[in-house]
Amino acid sequence: MLHPFPHQRESGQPIVELKNVTAGYEGQAVLSEVNLTIMPGDFVGFLGPSGSGKTTLLRTILGATRVFSGHAQVNGKRVDRRRSLAGYVPQLETIDWNFPVTVGEVVMMGHTRGNPLFPWHRQADWRTARATMERLGIADLEDRHIRQLSGGQQQRAFLARALVSNPSLLLLDEPTRGVDIKTRDEVMHLLHELNHQGVAIAMTTHEINPVAAYLPWLVCIKGQIVAEGPPSQVISPEILHLTYGAEMPVIEYEGMTLVAESPHHFGRNGNRKASANGNGRAPEPVTGHGHSHHGEAADHGHPVGAHGASGAD
Ligand SMILES: Nc1ncnc2c1ncn2[C@@H]1O[C@H](COP(=O)(O)OP(=O)(O)O)[C@@H](O)[C@H]1O
Ligand SMILES: [Mg+2]
β 225-229/66-74 pair status: unpaired
The confidence score (pLDDT) of residue 285 equals: 38
Ligand 1 pocket, 271 CB below 6 A? no
Q: Which ligand is nearest to the CA of 46?
A: 1
CA 238-224-56 angle, 5° bins: 125
Q: Compute the average pLDDT of residues 159-180.
A: 93
Name the 3-class secondary structure at 207: coil
Ligand nearest to the CA of 93: 2
Contact 152, 183 (CB under 8 A): yes
pTM: 0.81
Q: Where are the alpha helices (DSSP H) in 119-167?
A: 119-135, 151-163
CA dist 28 and 275 (Å) reads 45
The predicted structure's pLDDT at residue 300: 35
pLDDT band at 264 (very low <50, low <70, confident <90, very high): low
- Residue 288 pLDDT greater than 80, yes or no: no
Separation of CA 53 and ligand 2 centre (Å): 7
Residue 2 has pLDDT above 80, yes or no: no
φ, ψ for residue 204, nearest 5 deg: -95, 155
**From atom 4 of ligand 1, which residue's Cα is the shortest distance away?**
25
How confident is the model at residue 82, as a pLDDT?
A: 78
User: What is the residue with the minimal CA distance to atom 3 of ligand 1?
Assistant: 25
For the cut 80, the answer to whether the pLDDT of residue 296 exceeds it is no
**Which one of the ligands is nearest to 52 CA?**
1
Report how far residue 178's alpha carbon sits from residue 185's, in angstroms, rounded to the nearest whole number.
Answer: 13
Distances (CA, A) of 182 to 69, 133, 153, 157, 187: 42, 21, 12, 17, 9
DSSP state of 234: H
pLDDT confidence bin for 279, thresholds 50/70/90: very low
The SS3 of residue 262 is coil
User: HSE of 63 in the Cβ direction (CA atoms, 13 Å)?
Assistant: 14
CA 36, CA 34: separation in Å to the nearest integer?
Answer: 6
Atom number in ligand 1 closest to CA 57: 17
What percent of the chain shows pLDDT beyond 90? Answer: 64
Per-residue pLDDT tens for 201-250? 999 998 999 899 999 999 999 999 999 999 999 999 999 999 999 888 99
| Residue 30, ligand 1, Cβ within 6 A | yes
What's the pLDDT at 282?
39
CA of 277 to the centre of ligand 2 (A): 30
Could you report how far apart the first and last alpha carbons of the chain are, in Å?
A: 29
